[in-house]
Every structure is written in C-alpha cells, then in structure tokens.
Amino acid sequence: IKQENVRNFSIIAHIDHGKSTLADRILEKTKALTDREMKEQFLDAMDLERERGITIKLNAVQLRYESQHTGEDYLFHLIDTPGHVDFTYEVSRSLAACDGVILVVDAAQGIEAQTLANLYLALDNDLEIIPVINKVDLPAADPEGVSKEIEDLLGVTSDEVLWASAKAGKGINEILEAIVHRVPAPEGNPDDPLKALIFDSLYDPYRGVIASISVKEGTVKVGQRIRMMQTGKEFEVNELGVFNPKPTAKDQLTVGDVGFLTASIKNVSDSRVGDTITSANKPAAEPLPGYKKLNPMVFCGLFPVDASNYNDLREALERLELNDSSLQYEAETSQALGFGFRCGFLGLLHMEIIQERIEREFGIQMITTAPSVIYEVESVDGEEFTVDNPSLMPDPQSIKEVREPFVNATIMVPNEYVGSVMEICQKKRGTFQDMEYLDDNRVNITYEIPLSEIVYDFFDQLKSQTKGYASFDYELEGYKASNLVKMDIWLNGDTIDALSFIVHRDFAFERGKAITHKLKDLIPRQQFEVPVQAAIGNKIVARSTIKAMRKNVLAKCYGGDITRKRKLLEKQKEGKKRMKMVGSVEVPQEAFMAVLEMD
C-alpha cells in the first residue's frame, strides 16, 4: 500500500465517553479479528486495566480498510492513548505518532476537563481533529446541544461533527470514511536518514525492551545498527513488526509504519519514550521534537507488613520498574515501620496502580504511608536541598524558606456548583485565576493550588460536592515559597516518623486537632492508655487519648458457644491483617493514611 493511503490516528476522550468501545467497533468493521478473537475492549490488555476501565499502556494496531467512496485500500494505524491526567506525557507522545485524532464526546455529558486537556495535546501536535458525538442512543443524549459546544470550541460547522453509538455500532462507517478523507497521509521521505519516534516501551525478559515506534523519516531494517539520539547508545535491530493485531514480523519498517522494534536492549532507560531512533551509520541531524524526561511528583513509603517480605518487595519493584521507567524507588528505613522503600510516582493514580499490582501480582501485603510532594528547602546557612519525605524535613529554626510545587487546576462544572467548587479551592489554599462560561450551563474555573493539597483528597471532595458532575485536570506550574511546618505525631510519647506530615502554619492547629482525634478512633484500644499528640518541633499543639481496653473480649465467651468464640477470633485476625507493631502500640494501615482525610 502506497504512502498516500496510510492513515495514522488515535482516539481521545474524557474517561467513560466510549473510546475503548469505539476502538472495538473499528476493529470489527475492519475485520482485524475473527469473532472468536474479538473480546470486548481488546486494546485494554492488562486485567487491572479492564477492572478499572482505564488504559495504562499504549498500543498500536494495524488495520486494512477498503473505502466505499474511493474503492481503494487503506492502511490504518490505530494508536491507543491512556486517558488519565497522570499519563499526560504518554498521551502526548502517542499523539506525536499520529496525523489525526477522533475526539469522542459523550452525547449526555458533553465536553469535560479531559476532553479539553486531550484536545489541547492534539492541537499542540498539529493534528487533524474529527469530532464524534458518541452514545446518541442514550435517553439523556443531547447531540444538538453537544454539537453546538464542539462547533464553538473548534470553530467547525455542524456537518463536520459526526454522530455515533459505539455500543449499537451506529455511525462507524462514517467515522472510517472521515479518517480516509480528513486525516492526512504521513509526509516524510523513505530515503532520508532514519527518524523513528519511540512512543511506548515494554520489557520482555527474553527479548529485552520492546519499543513501540512510529517511523517519521527513512527506513529501518532488521540487522541495522541504530542509535538512540538522546542517550547516544547503539544497538543492532533484532526484530521489527506490526500488530495486526497479533504481532507480525517484518523485514523493515518505513515512513508511515507504526509497529515494534527489539534490539537486545536490556535497560528500559536506554529506550525512553519520546526519544528518536536514528541510523548509526547515517544519523539524522536533529531528533524529533519534544523529548522530555518524566519526573515523579508524588512520593510515599511502602513497607511490607511482614518484615520477611522485604526482599520480595524489592524484587517486585525491580520488575515493575523494567516496564515503567517513570517509577522510582530507593530503600528507606523508618523507626516505626522498619525496612521499606520510598517510591516516586507521576501522580496519585499511578501510585494506586503500582500498589495494587504489587499486592495482586506479587502477593505482598504492604503498609503505605500518606503521599507527599517534593519540597525545596533553603536552610539558614544558605544550603539548598529537596525533601520528599516529611519525616526528613529539618527543624523549623534551621529553615530559612520552604518552597512547594503549585499546579494550575482546571475544573469544569455546571453553573449551580460554582460556589461549592470555589469554596473547596479556597479551603485548599487555592488562588483564583479565571472563570469562563462555555455555554449557558457550564463553567470552566481555573485555580492555582499547591500540589500537596490536591494529593490530600481534593478530587474526592470535588466529586462529592458536585454530585460527580465536576471534571478536573491539572498541570505543574512551578515552585513557590509557603509558610510550611512539619507536624510530628507522638504515640505513647514516641515520635512515629511514618506519620509526620507537612502542613501550612495557618492550618497546623486545626489539622493537629483533627488528626489526633481521628487516630484515637482508628487505633484499637490496647491494654494500657495511649496518649496521641501532635507536635511542631517540641511544641505540642493537640492531644487525645486512646483509653485502655476494658476487659478481655473473649472473657464473656468462656463456657459459651465455641463457634461464636471462633468467629470472634477470626474477626480479630481479619482486622489484624494490616496491623503493624509500632513500639508498644499496634497501628492499623488506615492510621497512616488518616492525614489524607482531615477536613
């Protein structure tokens, strides 16, 4: 198939607007899969993705399509993008592999925050945009209204906006024809020096890194020596291929092809997403634009419940890191929790996914500490350093200034919730930036907010205060000085390092009161009375007391029903699963997260 009949595109949408369902319909229509192979949501490979209904890893599928209008054969590459804000960079790289996008908007929900965030990424990459209103079959659908929103936003006419029901298979042919007629063919010359964009990479223990690539210039062949333009590392190509959708080997990939490459690359960091592959003998002068190293923004401690699982936990992290170069970890010792790891993540969702995978795939039970951001600290003697673990924040008198990361948060809500949203943002130390009416009913509000406040249950509050109507996105803005202090928690007179957190001085008293109160309820009664105190430096700001256990719970069963007794023991064991002896006090997992739900 000639280059002018190649179409590289992606589907972008706010979560749940029907991206995966539409991808399935496109695979069906192009007969990429037999019915038996066709299982729902083919592109969402991992179990976890299926369960959570989100797409983490990028995928590219090669499809053949015969146009009903032109009668010609076309080669499509459908590139899947992850939908969540934590993965913005990956979305952006996978879009750089395309020439056009299908922008899916739910006919009942209309445009939402991630619709916009994804749209801006597509515009940044200069892509042709095909707007599709999906779920027109829903009783609550308002395709005319949503079409109006889209027309205003994109400056298009109503006949450029397609209507579809991915679920019912309606409007799919029109979408396929729009891809043929509206998405441009890849430019680039197959005889020029090689430039292939790495837009995903995955580690396989036998073949090394499997890089997903989009060839923008030149041709790559099996056996050829290639060079990674950022790291300068060189390799020899072992395998090339495409997913159609089964992996299919090829001798070469040329301009317009999207597929995979292996070259005995043993280290994921040698094939970074966003890097450009070129030929070692005839290198290109410039890499493709937009290489960016990803830095973790959120950190937390992971500690095995059972100390003998420490090595298993390290192995699990090593394995996960191979496929996920944005995951960071280093050994950490906590006085309270023993040996564990301090881990860095791109965002909260990324953190949850990694935690869940460790528990599920490696069967390790963990205590996780509350997430924290990275602080920049300047000491009184002029030294500058960063702190990603609250317990390591120095004493207040030795600090000259603490700076924290701020984000630009975009929140989209129906009119009637504007008041509640502003109240939450205000409470979270936000500074109002802008408010824009998208139409009679929807408002786009932007605030500058410290990232640490977003980490502390911002999204949950937003959802509950707006009955789920708010949608939300953020991007890092930069560091600014704040009046921050470290709050320590003392249990029975001992500082529990894993419970320390950083708080704005104006909220310190209130938070100290709230957390001691909460811990009192979360930590079960012990044989003795346990004071719970919150302190800044040596100054106690709040206190409550866990009363001693009244009597042995089993005592009342003596002589009684044996099954009842066993049930009681069973129940206690259940509750104990996530307990950790901290000094002389038994502390449950929830206690380490208590600081997240303080308001």
Is-contact 83 19, C-beta < 8 A? yes
Q: Which is nearer to Mg ion, 114 or 271 (CB)?
A: 114
CA distances from 450 to 24, 241, 375, 480, 585 (A): 39, 45, 11, 9, 34
Tell me if 214 is assigned to a ligand binding site.
Answer: no
State the nearest-atom distance from the C-beta of 167 to ligand GDP, in Å. Answer: 3
Q: How many CA atoms lie within 13 A of 69 on its CB side?
A: 10
Residue 135 annotated as binding?
Answer: yes
Decide whether 55 or 262 has the Cβ nearer to Mg ion.
55
Does the protein bind Mg ion through residue 20 (CB under 5 A)? yes
135 binds, among Mg ion, ligand GDP, none (CB under 5 to 8 A by kind): ligand GDP
Q: Please tell me whether residue 394 adopts helix, strand or coil conformation.
A: coil
Residue 167 touches which member of Mg ion, ligand GDP, none, C-beta under 5-8 Å by kind: ligand GDP
Task: Indicate the residue among 21 and 446 with the shorter CB distance to ligand GDP.
Answer: 21
Q: Which is nearer to ligand GDP, 21 or 219 (CB)?
A: 21
| Local structure of residue 328 (DSSP, 8 states) | E
Cα→Cα distances 111→79, 103, 152, 159, Å:
22, 10, 11, 18
Number of residues in contact with ligand GDP under rule CB under 6 A: 16
Asked whether position 110 contacts ligand GDP by CB under 6 A, the answer is no
Query: C-beta of 375: minimal distance to ligand GDP in Å?
Result: 35
Residue 138 as a binder of ligand GDP (CB under 6 A): the answer is yes
Residue with smaller CB distance to ligand GDP, 42 or 345 = 42
Q: Which stretch binds ligand GDP (CB under 6 A): 68-76, 134-142, 179-187, 405-413?
A: 134-142
Two tokens, residue 234:
């060189």
Instruction: Decide the pairing of beta strands 208-217 and 258-262.
Output: antiparallel
Amino acid letter at 143?
P
Q: Is 134 annotated as a binding residue?
A: yes
What are the structure tokens assigned to 552, written together?
Answer: 């042995």
Inter-residue contact 96 to 118 (CB < 8 Å): no
- Match 């010609």 to its residue by tokens: 72
Q: Is 114 in the site for Mg ion (CB under 5 A)?
A: no
Decide if residue 518 touches ligand GDP (CB under 6 A).
Answer: no
Among 137, 152, 506, 521, binds ligand GDP (CB under 6 A): 137
Part of the chain binding Mg ion (CB under 5 A), chosen from 54-62, 137-145, 258-266, 433-441: 54-62
Nearer to ligand GDP, 83 or 450 (CB): 83
**Does 319 sit near ligand GDP (CB under 6 A)?**
no
Q: Please choose, from the candidates 410, 404, 365, 409, the residue with its C-alpha nearest in 3D space to the C-alpha of residue 388.
A: 404
Residue 114 makes contact with ligand GDP by CB under 6 A: no
Residue 526, Cβ neighbours under 10 Å: how many? 15
- Decide whether 13 or 532 has the Cβ nearer to ligand GDP: 13
- Rounded Cα distance between 256 and 219, Å, is 10
What are residue 153's phi and psi, to 5 degrees? -70, -45
- Interacting positions 8-47 with ligand GDP (CB under 6 A): 13, 15-21
Question: CA 294 from chain center: how many Å?
Answer: 12
Angstrom distance (rounded) from CA 13 to CA 80: 11
Subset of residues 49 to 88 that bind ligand GDP, contact rule: CB under 6 A: 53
Rounded to whole angstroms, how far apart are CA atoms 218 and 213?
Answer: 13
Can you tell me which of 109, 165, 201, 389 binds ligand GDP, judged by CB under 6 A? Answer: 165
H helix intervals, 310-415: 310-323, 348-362
Residue ranges at the known binding site for GTP: 16-21, 134-137
Give contact residues for ligand GDP (rule: CB under 6 A): 13, 15-21, 53, 134-135, 137-138, 165-167
